[in-house]
Structure 1
Amino acid sequence: MWDEIWTSAGAGALAGLGVALPLGAVGALLLREGLVNGFRVAAASAAGIATVDTLYCTVATLAGAVVAPTVQRHRGVFLILSGLLIVAIGVRQLRRGLMRQARAVSEVEQVSASAAYVRFVGLTAVNPTTLVYFVALSGALATRGGSWAGPAAFVAAAGVASLAWQLVLAAIGALFGRSVGAGATRTIGVVASVLVIALGIGVLANGLGSLARP
């Protein structure tokens, strides 16, 4: 039993890092959150991402390959929704950043940790790639017919690994934000918002391309 738990935990940790390490639009938003709003708000955002990763890993482990075809059929719709949401957030942040630049405002944005958590839960939830990824990795584990301990260890380790990496990104953003002046932080925030918009447009284009393909 313990061999199964440790093997599953190792596989789960690798799975969690595998889905978390690639720096996409959500990761870029998390870095900006740390840069502009500090570690506390960024850590809440990281927890939001890891929450959805853990939830999707749970669904994938319980349902296995049954879920994958349904998610894949609607992948384009999810990507479009995700792209639109990311672009909207980027535009909103860009507008605020430009206004702050014009007024040379030095204080940080008033964003609560709870609001940041909810926002990043929504952003991560509309990304179907995460669910399909976990289905591909955990389907065999879920159908192996062993005890519940292996799948539970897989899910827990994946969630912890995802949270750990997201917290690293949050800390990097927060540390970099503290190491530069207020003016440089505002400028970097504007640039980061433009990059987020560009990433969101890329996700949107990917979704439209998925719908166009037969």
Structure 2
Amino acid sequence: MCHGRVRETRRVLVEILLSAGAGVVAGLGVAMPLGAIGALLLREGLVNGFRVAASAATGVAIVDTAYCAVAALVGATFAPLVESHRGAFLIVSGLVILAIGVRLLVMAVRRRTAQAAAAEPTDPFAAFLRFVGLTAINPLTLLYFVALAGAITTHSTWPIGPVVFVVAVGASSLAWQFVLATVGSLFGRSLSARATEIIGIVASILIVALGGMVAVSGVTLG
């Protein structure tokens, strides 16, 4: 009886460790590729500093965690449904990113005057909400987690496995988003105001380009 309990405890611990490891890899896998969200986050740190960028990073990680939790509940059941509407999702998200990039570009150009610079929205909560919305409209994030969470729930024999997986995803995503926020803010702190303005304009142009590419890819799929 005692040996059976020990074996069962070891099995649970191994499953927890495997779920945690898979969650860390999954969280970094969705966070590390530098797409539109990563570029926006770097720009946020560069232009508005770490405090605002950290709030934005938290918003991204919360959506990643929420998507992962939903995916862990449904597994791969709804993957075909989301996949069948991928083109439409990409078009909508691409247009939203494009619009935000244009707005940031206009603001970056206007930062040359003190009045326009003061009008730059630097409220951390506003940045948090903006990045929650941006991350939430990315259908590829949901598809990614549906596929991975389906695998982890299929191979998990204890309810704690999916919970550990979701927590590890959120923690690793948050850690990487904070890395981007820190890098952006450090570069912004070391550069002159003029250089920051120029890089802000270039970053905004890249975001516009990324939004256009996402929208075009959605049209191609459609």
Sort the TM-score into its range (normalised by shorter chain).
Answer: over 0.9
Q: Are the equivalent residues in 2 in contact too, given 1:21–1:165 (CA < 8 A)?
A: yes
- In the alignment, is residue 205 of structure 1 matched against residue 197 of structure 2? no
Q: Are the equivalent residues in 1 in contact too, given 2:110–2:116 (CA < 8 A)?
A: no
Match of 1:13 in 2: 24
Match of 1:24 in 2: 35
Q: What is the root-mean-square deviation of aligned Cα atoms in Å?
A: 1.4
Q: CA deviation at 1:140?
A: 2.1
Match of 2:127 in 1: 116
- In the alignment, is residue 183 of structure 1 matched against residue 194 of structure 2? yes
Q: CA deviation at 1:111?
A: 2.0
Q: Are the equivalent residues in 1 in contact too, given 2:110–2:117 (CA < 8 A)?
A: no
List per-residue Cα deviations over 1:158-193 (Å, max 9, x = no partner).
110000000000000000000001111111101110
CA distance in 1, matches of 2:156, 2:48: 46
Alignment equivalent of 1:40, drawn from 51, 72, 93:
51
Instruction: Give the share of equivalent positions with the same residue, in percent.
Output: 59
List per-residue Cα deviations over 1:100-151 (Å, max 9, x = no partner).
23x3669562321111111111111111111111122121221336111110
Normalization by structure 1: what TM-score?
0.94
Alignment equivalent of 1:86, drawn from 66, 84, 97:
97
Alignment equivalent of 1:52, drawn from 43, 63, 75:
63
**Residue type of the partner of 1:3?**
V
CA distance in 2, matches of 1:34, 1:6: 34
* SS state at 2:33 partner: coil
Would you say how many aligned residue pairs link Structure 1 and Structure 2? 210
Match of 1:160 in 2: 171
**Residue type of the partner of 1:179?**
S
Alignment equivalent of 1:130, drawn from 141, 161, 166:
141
- In the alignment, is residue 149 of structure 1 matched against residue 160 of structure 2? yes
- In the alignment, is residue 63 of structure 1 matched against residue 56 of structure 2? no
**Residue type of the partner of 1:23?**
L
CA distance in 1, matches of 2:139, 2:72: 15
**Bigger-Rg structure (1/2):** 2
Q: Are the equivalent residues in 1 in contact too, given 2:111–2:117 (CA < 8 A)?
A: no
Alignment equivalent of 1:174, drawn from 173, 179, 185:
185
List per-residue Cα deviations over 1:12-44 (Å, max 9, x = no partner).
000000011100011100000000000011011
| Stretches of structure 1 lacking an aligned partner (at least 5 in a row) | none
CA distance in 2, matches of 1:46, 1:188: 20
List per-residue Cα deviations over 1:37-94 (Å, max 9, x = no partner).
0001101111111111101111111101112111111111111111111111111111
Q: Are the equivalent residues in 2 in contact too, given 1:80–1:204 (CA < 8 A)?
A: yes
CA distance in 1, matches of 2:16, 2:177: 24
Normalization by structure 2: what TM-score?
0.91
Change (3 A) 1:168 1:183: same
